[in-house]
Amino acid sequence: MLDIDPITIGDHVMIGPNASIITVGHPLSPQGRRRHWGQAHEVSIGNDVWIGACAVSCQGLPLAPIWRWPPGAVVTHDVPDNSVVGGVPARLIKEIENDVQD
């Protein structure tokens, strides 16, 4: 985890080895990078999320509840609740049933 902004992790979350959750990024502008500017955005992980090994979260993504994120996936945008995403960049693979009664 690389955090200069908060990372919030919900209940019953599983995170595989070598997964990266990153809140910081750098400007596209070469001048901004030469000045060592950073920009951060909070990452919030919902309940019952499963993040597979070597998966990567880009900054500022709210990770929906009941979510499965397969190994090696690179998530660059928000995805729907109750879903499985995968690939580079990650895309919706299928929706899954929320069978948890809170």
Residue 26 catalytic? yes
What does the alpha-carbon distance between residue 79 and residue 30 come to, in Å, rounded to a whole number? 30
Please state the three-class secondary structure of 49-100 as a single string: CEECCCCEECCCCEECCCEEECCCCEECCCCCCCEEEECCCCEEEEECCCCC
Name the DSSP class of 13.
-
The catalytic residue among 26, 36, 41, 77 is 26
The C-alpha R_g of the chain, in whole angstroms, comes to: 14
Annotated active-site positions, please? 26
